[in-house]
Amino acid sequence: MPSEEADALAKKKAEARAEKKAQKVARVKKAVTRDQAGPQAVVPGNGPKMPDNVTNTPNSAPKTTKTKPSSSVVEVQLNSVGTKSGVRKTDNAIPKVQNATPKTLNNAPKIVDNAQKAAQKQSKFASATKVVPAKTVKVPTPQRVAKPKVSVQQNNKLFARLSSVKKSLIEPVPQSFPPSIARLAVQFADSVIVGSNVRCVAFMEAVRQLIEDYETPPEKTFSRGLEETLQSCSEFLLQYRPISISIRNALKFLKWQVLHLPDEPEEACKARLYKAIESYMWEQVELADRAISGTVKQKIVNGDVVVVYGCSSIVQRIIEDAHREGTNFRVVVIDGWPWKEGKEMLRRIVSAGVKCSYMLVTAASFAMMEATKVLLGAHSLLTNGSAITRAGTSQVAMLAHARNVPVLMCCETHKFSEGAHTDAFCREELVVSSDTSAIVYDIMPPDFVTAVVTEVAVVPCTSVPVILRVSA
């Protein structure tokens, strides 16, 4: 019995599949017959009108008249047209079929269906793009919150690693600390003492006062205790402003003298150090400036137009000595940021009776049109021939080099350095004001310098290692 029921069920399924297949075949034949017979008659008002030359009967194929083929076979007008800016409605129109042929008539139902689908899509798009009036909502006005003030140095990441000049004492100075060094640190920070030579002389005077007030601790010798004091003083000065090359070389000289003191009483050791300090300031600063001035003033002749930049003590001395000897020349002082030291230079040489002109570094190219010589000072000379100078000096030297104007750099040998830098950020200072920040020094390439005038001789920039080796 179960096998008979299973056979009956399988037979029913087979018959259902055969019936479905027959229905599908019938639908396909019907569709093929409809495509071959052409479009059926359309009820008026429910579809497109048939052309006059087409007749259709229920039991016969459509009869058409012979017409010449035309380039525009079918024209269809949609109920609405959509654009990017919105929906533009047109008059409702029924698709028209002109110059119909049997082939075009076969495709007419498809064209009508496509037109109706496009019209439905456009109507949906038009309903979706209806503009809904916005509701007015009162938004409370936000309260203004004062932003914390951020310094220019914090905003500028380029200058973040540079040390800025302090304007006051960082912490209370202990009573045992030398007062001369504390006073010197404040003067450096407030830019009261500016310039490599002036800073070096002031440092040596402060050390001389330190040695005079120094008392040797009971558990230490004079030389060992004084060396530690000098080291702590240099670290204290470094907190307020980076130590210049001239001060660094002077400190090296003092430490060498302290280490080589003989085993003598304290007063005798102090007397030796006094004499060494006086000798250093006389030979390395005063006599060197005299020798450089005597060499350069012979280069200045009547009718010269000498261009200087900023304020340099050695350049000022050269100009005053040349004017004192009766040479008729004129000086153009070019000034720049951040301190505009050229105003002080102008005041000094005008008081000496020298004819002067003043302009900023932005107009330096106009000064080079009539310049015959350029005199520049230097903060330091490096072993690779580059020079550390006041910011803006390299721009003046570059303009002079472009117009073949000789550039003479005046620098004493105690400002020579054994280092070699390609940019000024290795040993740079930052001056921060209320609205801006500026660097103090820049690097001048040796190509812009005609010659370097020292107390030893007039040498090229590349001779710095030779002079350091000879003077060691």
Tell me, letter by letter, the H, E, C secondary structure of 61-129.
EEEECCCCCCCCCEECCCCEEECCCCEEECCCCCCEECCCCHHHHHCHHHHHHHHHHHHHHHHHHHHHC
Q: Where does residue 27 rank: exposed (0-12), middle (13-18), buried (19+ CB within 10 A)?
A: exposed
Query: What is the distance between the alpha carbons of residues 348 and 339, in angstroms, rounded to a whole number?
Result: 16
197, two tokens: 């030579």
The sheet with strand 441-444 has its strands ordered as 380-381, 387-390, 441-444
In angstroms, the CA 464 to CA 430 distance is 27
> Which one is the CATH code of 300-471: 3.40.50.2000, 3.40.50.10490, 3.40.50.10470, 3.30.70.20?
3.40.50.10470
- DSSP code per residue over 434-461: SS-EEESEEEEPGGG-SEEE-SS-EE-G
Q: What are phi and psi of 394, to 5 degrees?
A: -65, -30
β-bridge partners, 381: 387, 416
Distance of CA 301 to the CA centre of its chain: 45
| Long-range contact set of residues 167-172: C-beta below 8 Å, sequence gap at least 24 | 170/239, 170/240
Dihedral angle sign, alpha carbons of residues 19, 21, 22, 26? positive
Distance of alpha carbon 337 from alpha carbon 431, whole angstroms: 10
Residue 99 confidence (pLDDT): 47
C-alpha to C-alpha distances, 380 to 107, 196, 262, 411, 469, nearest whole angstrom:
95, 8, 33, 7, 17
Q: Are 100 and 108 in contact (CB under 8 A)?
A: yes
| pLDDT value at residue 136 | 53
pLDDT tens-place values along the chain, 472 residues long:
556 777 788 888 888 888 888 888 788 777 767 766 655 444 444 444 444 444 444 444 444 444 444 443 334 343 434 444 444 444 444 444 444 444 444 555 555 566 666 666 656 555 544 444 545 545 455 555 444 444 444 445 555 555 554 444 555 666 667 888 988 988 888 888 888 899 999 999 999 999 998 888 888 888 888 998 999 888 888 888 888 899 999 999 999 999 998 888 889 999 999 999 999 999 999 999 999 999 999 999 999 999 999 899 999 999 999 999 999 999 999 998 877 888 999 999 999 999 999 999 999 999 999 999 999 999 989 998 899 888 889 999 999 999 999 999 999 999 998 887 776 666 656 665 555 667 778 888 999 999 999 999 899 988 888 888 887 6
Q: Which residues pair with 262 in a beta bridge?
A: none
What is the model's pLDDT at position 220? 84
Distance CA 254, CA 268 (A): 16
Provide Rg for the chain, Cα atoms. Answer: 49
Q: How many helices (H) and strands (E) does the chain have?
A: 15, 19
Distance CA 330, CA 326 (A): 12
8 A C-beta contact, residue 258 and residue 272: no
End-to-end alpha-carbon separation of the chain, Å?
126
- Please state whether 191 falls in left (phi above 0), alpha (psi between -120 and 50) or beta: left
Single out the residue of 327, 344, 333, 342 nearest to residue 306, CA to CA: 333
Which residues, 6 or more positions from 248, have their beta carbon under 8 angstroms from its beta carbon?
none
User: Which CATH superfamily is 169-287 part of?
Assistant: translation initiation factor eif-2b, domain 1 (1.20.120.420)
Tokens, residue 157: 């990441």
Alpha carbons 47 and 332: distance in angstroms, whole number: 98
Give residue limits of the domains in the chain: 51-67+74-79+92-106, 169-287, 300-471
Q: How far apart are CA 37 and CA 102, in angstroms?
A: 9
E-strand stretches of 128-220: 163-164
Amino acid identity of 40?
Q
Burial of 307 (0-12, 13-18, 19+ CB in 10 A): buried
Using DSSP bridges, classify how beta strands 407-410 and 429-432 pair: parallel, antiparallel or unpaired: unpaired
Give the strand pairing for 373-377 and 305-309: parallel
Contacting residues for 340 by C-beta, under 8 A, at least 6 apart: none
Q: How far is it, in rounded angstroms, from Cα 398 to Cα 51? A: 91
Query: What is the per-residue pLDDT for 434?
Result: 52
pLDDT score recorded for residue 341: 86
